[in-house]
Amino acid sequence: MKKKYWDESFTPPEADKFLGAVKIEFAKSFEVEDRFLSAWLNHHGESQGKWLRARLALATGGLLGLSSQTSINWAVVCELIHSASLLHDDVCDQDSLRRGHSSVWKEYGISAAICTGDYLIAESFRKITEIEEGWHQTILLKLLSCSVKEIIFGQSKDVSFDALDMSWQQYKKMAINKTSPFIALPMMGMFKCRECTIDECDGLQEVSNYLGLSYQYLNDVENLVGINQDIFTDIYQSHPNGMLIKILDNLDLETKSTIKEEPKLLINYIDKKSFIEQKSNIHNLLEDAKNHFHRVPKVVQPVLISIKYEINERLKDLMEERQ
């Protein structure tokens, strides 16, 4: 049984009360007449995630007093755009597994995965038009467009940099572009609809940047353990990896030069000590995020605590895996 990381004690009942409605609306977006696209969507839909983005949107919308219709539709939008990004990300990273199932590109080909992801992006924009308030539609369309651009900026850096030449600062920028929108977007949409202040929105963005970086960093560390993904693919395929960058920073120039000629040698430097160091690095990022919690409305701070809790729990499991 898959472990549940989300802690409902930090969030309002709305986060789960309307989750069923989100799943129904989300499933409707997968109903298409084209038999090829239908097969690809159904295969992708078999690997269900944690619905984290939906929970974030529902919880934030409920706490800020927005209508359930607005929160539900926005939650579906966020899940659709995230689902699209996974399809494209698997192609870029050549990941053959997605949540324990074969990825769409591996099963049906790269073209199928790209088409499926493109469809879900288009569907996410269409779904916004179902939101009741016209002015809500306008601000959410703009927000979604900007967020998709940020994700693409991050992904373009991911596929363009030589992983062994990447600096920590370059990695941070890439990871924040690539991952933080998926934390900020569900909540920011509700902030914009509630007309929160500029400082509150900036505070949420700052928190999301640290949490997004923590998420990406943790995912990179999990790649070197093989949790829910093929082990060491970041090494074999020269993908940017935060843990590997930190390890390389501690090596002398001669050793780095040798590793550049034979990247697989990096595996020899992945030991218990290096995992303990990464645990400390992720904890520091989470504390940086926590230091900005006060900038967002107090009523939604428990939602941010729930994200921090999830990352900590996953990190704890990872360290137990390494014992």
Rounded to the nearest 5 percent, the helix, strand and coil shares of the chain are 75, 0, 25
Mean pLDDT in the chain? Answer: 91
Coil, helix or strand at residue 23? helix
The amino acid that residue 155 corresponds to is Q
Report whether pLDDT(322) > 80.
no
Report whether pLDDT(230) > 80.
no
Residue ranges and CATH numbers for the domains of the chain are 8-321 (1.10.600.10)
CB of 77 closer than 8 Å to CB of 188: no
Q: What is the widest separation between alpha-carbon atoms in the chain?
A: 62
Burial of 1 (0-12, 13-18, 19+ CB in 10 A): exposed
Burial 177-209 (b: 16+ CB within 10 A, else e): bbbbbbbbbbbbbbbbbbebeeebbebbbbbbb
Report whether pLDDT(151) > 90.
yes
**pTM for the whole thing?**
0.90
Angle among Cα 145, 89, 47 to the nearest 5 degrees reads: 105
Pair of tokens at residue 62 = 């409920």
Q: CA 158, 162, 164, 168: dihedral to nearest 10 degrees?
A: -50
Which residues contact residue 8 at a Cβ distance below 8 angstroms, ignoring those fewer than 6 apart? Answer: 15, 16
pLDDT tens track for 254-293: 999 999 899 999 999 998 899 999 999 999 999 999 999 9
Coil, helix or strand at residue 231? coil
Burial 22-58 (b: 16+ CB within 10 A, else e): bbebbeebbeeeeeeeebbbebbeebeeebbbbbbbb
Q: What is the mean pLDDT of residues 199-207?
A: 97
Report whether pLDDT(146) > 90.
yes
Report whether pLDDT(5) > 60.
no
Q: Look at residue 87 in the predicted model and tell me its pLDDT.
A: 96
Return d(Cα 185, Cα 175) in angstroms, integer: 15
Q: Look at residue 209 in the predicted model and tell me its pLDDT.
A: 97
pLDDT tens track for 53-95: 999 999 999 999 999 999 999 999 999 999 999 999 999 988 8
Phi and psi at 31, nearest 5°, equal -90, 105
